[in-house]
């Protein structure tokens, strides 16, 4: 089987070795080209590591204020209803600073796709403890490990999946099988939007070797073995049935 | 005919492909690139063009030709 990287993604130069953003960016490029929407796809990226994609995708891309790419994407969708619109952000933007925007877009069931790259830390700012950090996880601001008695661990996906939305799923950017699965989830999210079903959120568990202070292969094992215990993989809402 | 092509200037030496390859066809070359990374190399006699390396590479190093 011939496999060639999508032409709509032409770099990943600024990401650290082993970063999941390069994987997620390539999958979105592959899906956009397979669905034939690369010329009408408008992507909205957040201010953080994911903002590097603004220079790497050939799609029309907007960088929104930090944590506000979902309302920006909703605005683009209202003005250009024929465009495919997606918001691409990390867990810090979606579940910390932008939690209100995530919840209210889901409440309104706005017809956009949201892709959340969950790496369990605030990546670009230096690996500080995030709401998604696991109990006991050592980060820059929890050097003795996150104290579960004081800080909870949660993912906004658990709230969004209780609402009347089109599609909610979680995958991992780990290993060949995980990548094939993640690509299926991304394709389903876009298909729901093109069908007009409403809000889709796909969370992708991703390694951040630099801020986990692990070699890339061990960071990958951390995501696959530890993160999936707290953030189970699967499809939680699929309103349209089999797309 | 070659089964696989590597754009080695993109490689950052994360090692995902080396771990993922089911035939052990990929290994670190020991060659340090201009960016300072230990890049990978392929033994084409072992490669079966399964595409595992393409799927797990964050930096689009691999192209499967057949």
Q: Is A176 in Cβ contact with B20 (below 8 Å)?
A: yes
Residues A63-77 pLDDT 10s? 999 999 999 999 999
Tell me if A7 is assigned to some domain.
Answer: no
User: What pLDDT is stored for residue A65 in this prediction?
Assistant: 94
User: What pLDDT is stored for residue A243 in this prediction?
Assistant: 47
Residues of A within 8 A of B66 (CB-CB) are: 2
pLDDT at A46 over 90: yes
Identify the CA nearest to A1 among candidates B49, B23, B55: B49
Residues B30-55 pLDDT 10s? 999 999 999 999 999 999 999 999 99
A221: exposed, middle or buried (Cβ count in 10 Å: 0-12, 13-18, 19+): middle
Q: Indicate the number of domains in chain B.
A: 1
Tell me if A15 is assigned to some domain.
Answer: no
> By residue range, what is the domain housing residue B51?
4-64
Q: What percent of chain B has pLDDT over 70?
A: 100
Q: Indicate the number of domains in chain A.
A: 1
**For position A131, which CATH number holds?**
3.40.50.970
Tell me if A8 is assigned to some domain.
Answer: no
User: What pLDDT is stored for residue A241 in this prediction?
Assistant: 54
> By residue range, what is the domain housing residue A94?
20-238
DSSP letter for each residue of A73-116 = HHHHHHH-TTSEEEEEEEHHIIIIITHHHHHHHHHHT-S-EEEE
Residues A59 and A91: beta-carbon distance below 8 Å: no
Residues B57 and B64: beta-carbon distance below 8 Å: no
Residues A100-130 pLDDT 10s? 999 999 999 999 999 999 999 999 999 999 9
Among the partner residues A4, A21, A22, nearest to B63 by beta-carbon distance: A4
Tell me if A204 is assigned to some domain.
Answer: yes
Residues A68 and A54: beta-carbon distance below 8 Å: no
Q: What is the CB-side half-sphere exposure of residue A142 using CA atoms within 13 A? A: 23
Interface pTM, i.e. ipTM: 0.95
Among the partner residues B13, B37, B65, nearest to A2 by beta-carbon distance: B65
**For position B46, which CATH number holds?**
3.30.70.20
Q: What is the CB-side half-sphere exposure of residue A149 using CA atoms within 13 A? A: 0
Residues of A within 8 A of B26 (CB-CB) are: none
Tell me if A2 is assigned to some domain.
Answer: no
């Amino acid at each position: 089987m011939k496999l060639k990287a999508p032409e709509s993604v032409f770099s990943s130069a600024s990401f650290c070795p082993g970063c999941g953003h390069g994987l997620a960016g390539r999958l979105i490029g592959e899906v956009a080209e397979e669905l034939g929407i690369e010329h009408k796809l408008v992507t909205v990226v957040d201010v953080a590591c994911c903002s590097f994609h603004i220079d790497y995708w050939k799609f029309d891309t907007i960088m929104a204020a930090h944590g506000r790419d979902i309302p920006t994407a909703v605005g683009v969708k209202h003005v250009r209803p024929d465009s495919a619109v997606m918001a691409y952000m990390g867990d810090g933007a979606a579940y910390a600073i932008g939690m209100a925007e995530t919840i209210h877009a889901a409440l309104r069931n706005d017809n956009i796709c949201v892709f959340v790259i969950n790496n369990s830390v605030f990546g670009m700012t230096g690996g500080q403890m995030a709401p998604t950090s696991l109990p006991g996880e050592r980060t820059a601001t929890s050097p003795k490990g996150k104290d579960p008695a004081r800080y909870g661990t949660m993912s906004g996906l658990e709230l969004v999946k209780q609402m009347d939305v089109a599609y909610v799923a979680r995958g991992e950017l780990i290993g060949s099988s995980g990548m094939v699965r993640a690509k299926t989830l991304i394709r389903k999210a876009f298909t729901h939007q093109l069908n007009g079903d409403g809000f889709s959120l796909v969370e992708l568990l991703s390694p951040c070797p630099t801020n986990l202070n692990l070699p890339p292969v061990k960071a990958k094992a951390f995501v696959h073995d530890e993160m999936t215990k707290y953030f189970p993989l699967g499809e939680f809402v699929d309103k349209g049935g089999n797309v | 005919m070659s089964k696989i092509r590597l754009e080695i200037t993109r490689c950052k030496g994360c090692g995902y492909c080396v771990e993922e390859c089911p035939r052990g066809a990929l290994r670190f070359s020991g060659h340090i690139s201009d960016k300072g990374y230990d890049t990978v190399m392929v033994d084409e006699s072992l490669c079966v063009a399964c595409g595992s390396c393409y799927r797990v590479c964050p930096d689009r190093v691999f192209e499967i030709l057949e």
